[in-house]
Structure 1
């Protein structure tokens, strides 16, 4: 009898582990074959990441259904049952999040591979990322609530709290006003398509690329690798520049302050030669004109184009540098000078 008391729990636990390992290997094998047969979708390969939570759910379910008959810790049946229930709820939530993430990532990957519009791809990526985080948050909250409800005292507390739900709702609403505002702003950004991951923006006079969007904050990576983190409500309540809105193509300007004798026509011709040697120039447009004059200098402006903000910055710097070098080598008189000669006398009336 004593031997049976020891042997039965060992056999049940060992059998559950063996069944779990075999089932995990079979599922992994099936997913691997499906992945090889359908290379056009990464779904099956992504689902292989769910092997561990699947095994945990299966093993916990087997033990949860047989721990009383097996006599596992017979002196503490409630504690064992509650522990297995908590593990089962947590592992089920883990598995659900893994499956949802795999499905969302697979759908986005297939869409991105077949889409030609980069702006639309970035919009879908932003929406998918925020939806995925909403799903994860909902699953986690439901799992935590289910775990708490396994404790009888928590059920009593929950029933008593319902009586004062109105007052608590008002207090929580006031306390979480900022967080809720950011939450709704995040959803508005996701489905209103105002700003997307990968967009080039200017916020607070800082130029950068949107690197991450969550339900509450947004991260902008600046040109010098700094990260600016700000609440998403900023992008629904304040003006900002989105250089990627309506297309990533950009037009940039280059300015020089030169002497009045500067050879503008020769500069205009040289601009075309310079742009032809700059691979970042997209060929859409180029022009050069005198846009202002002062008693000592003229302001010459060149207009150049490129496919995005990064390339237009490169083109602007290259044009500024090469035309300035050309002026120094061939037309140094065109550079601004300071007159030090005496002024001509005023003629007699």
Structure 2
């Protein structure tokens, strides 16, 4: 676009074309030299730069060098075209803003990766790791959002026409601000809820939660919404405000290990000690149990059956679910095979008649 303007104004001489060719060649040489040096530094594990840092800043580096080239061409005044200077000035500002913003975002992601390297969420006791991951993820989204808004604002304000429009709008921003504030109330509340989640952390990444009757794990947290991975691999997308304004269950708020409950209903003549011994044998023979809690209690007795509650413990919510299902199945099999007469039953007692009805009938009167 810049070259076409120069050609139309007949301001491009042979020397100017030579400067452009030299500039392009110098741009390519500078780009490959800078990429090589950054890649060389990244190969040393003692340096802070990651190995793929050169590849991640390739595009912003190219945009930055192109802006420098245009700036050198503009101050050298190799063209007398005012249109070229006008367009070049705005293109330089736009390229510098985009490249610097891009570079800051890449550096932010590198810093996040460096800080999170010491935290492993795959461990059993990963509460602190999940807390740090959640904070850095949300704060990263906030900073990126602010950087992008600032970059767009700086680029647009470089145009005098847009700047004058902005000044005129600010003079009458009283009523407009109220209208926009009311219209964007939901959006602003959602953004503030995302920031509040980052600070107070009612939920963290990989927390086991129950939301809207659905049981799953927190898979992603953004400024405006939260993604819950349901147990059947569905995804539940919930606004951030939901976790601030509504009640929900968080099974891993303090720790990852959980208590599991199994209810069994039997007849009155079952042997509780035998079931307790079988439960202990089953738990000691499965890797699903963490070895902490093993309790069997009779929690209720009705006219039809006895309620037995089994308390178990596991390292996390998925393991607790598998352990509960396993114990329920095996205990039912144990009662069915060894105590079949102790399964729940309904009793019906009929009154017995000891005498013959004919004998109890009084004789007819004469």
Give the structure-1-normalised TM-score.
Answer: 0.88
Query: Corresponding residue for 2:268?
Result: 260
Q: CA–CA distance in 2 between the matches of 1:16 and 1:138?
A: 34
CA contact (8 A) 1:182 1:233 kept: yes
Structure 1 residues 207 and 289, CA gap change in structure 2 (3 angstroms): same
1:328 and 2:327 aligned: no
1:158 and 2:150 aligned: no
Structure 1 residues 146 and 236, CA gap change in structure 2 (3 angstroms): same
1:50 and 2:57 aligned: yes
Structure 1 residues 345 and 35, CA gap change in structure 2 (3 angstroms): farther
Q: CA–CA distance in 2 between the matches of 1:306 and 1:277?
A: 14
Secondary structure of 2:264's aligned partner: strand
Structure 1 residues 347 and 168, CA gap change in structure 2 (3 angstroms): farther
Q: CA deviation at 1:306?
A: 0.4
Q: CA deviation at 1:237?
A: 1.8
Q: CA deviation at 1:58?
A: 1.2
Q: CA–CA distance in 1 between the matches of 2:336 and 2:220?
A: 45
Larger CA deviation: 315-324 vs 50-59: 50-59
CA contact (8 A) 2:194 2:241 kept: yes
Q: CA–CA distance in 1 between the matches of 2:79 and 2:341?
A: 97
Query: Corresponding residue for 1:242?
Result: 250
1:219 and 2:254 aligned: no
Q: CA–CA distance in 2 between the matches of 1:186 and 1:333?
A: 58
Larger Rg: 2
Secondary structure of 1:198's aligned partner: coil
1:21 and 2:28 aligned: yes
Structure 1 residues 269 and 139, CA gap change in structure 2 (3 angstroms): same
Structure 1 residues 332 and 76, CA gap change in structure 2 (3 angstroms): same
Unaligned runs of 5+ in 2: 1-6, 356-366
Q: CA deviation at 1:330?
A: 2.5
Q: CA deviation at 1:9?
A: 4.5
CA contact (8 A) 1:68 1:74 kept: no
RMSD: 2.8
The correspondence of residues 223-302 of structure 1 with structure 2, limited to 5 A, is: 223-302=231-310
| Aligned partner (choices 299, 316, 324) of residue 308 of structure 1 | 316
Q: CA deviation at 1:277?
A: 2.0
Q: CA deviation at 1:71?
A: 4.8
Give the structure-2-normalised TM-score.
Answer: 0.85
Secondary structure of 2:341's aligned partner: helix
| Aligned partner (choices 185, 203, 206) of residue 177 of structure 1 | 185
Q: Deviations over 1:293-335 (max 9, x none)?
A: 2222111111100011111101000101111122223222222
Q: Deviations over 1:193-242 (max 9, x none)?
A: 22111111112222111111111111111111111112211212222111
Q: CA deviation at 1:253?
A: 0.6
CA contact (8 A) 1:8 1:70 kept: no
Aligned residues: 344
CA contact (8 A) 2:60 2:99 kept: yes
Q: CA–CA distance in 2 between the matches of 1:171 and 1:10?
A: 53
Larger CA deviation: 300-309 vs 329-338: 329-338
Q: CA–CA distance in 2 between the matches of 1:204 and 1:57?
A: 49
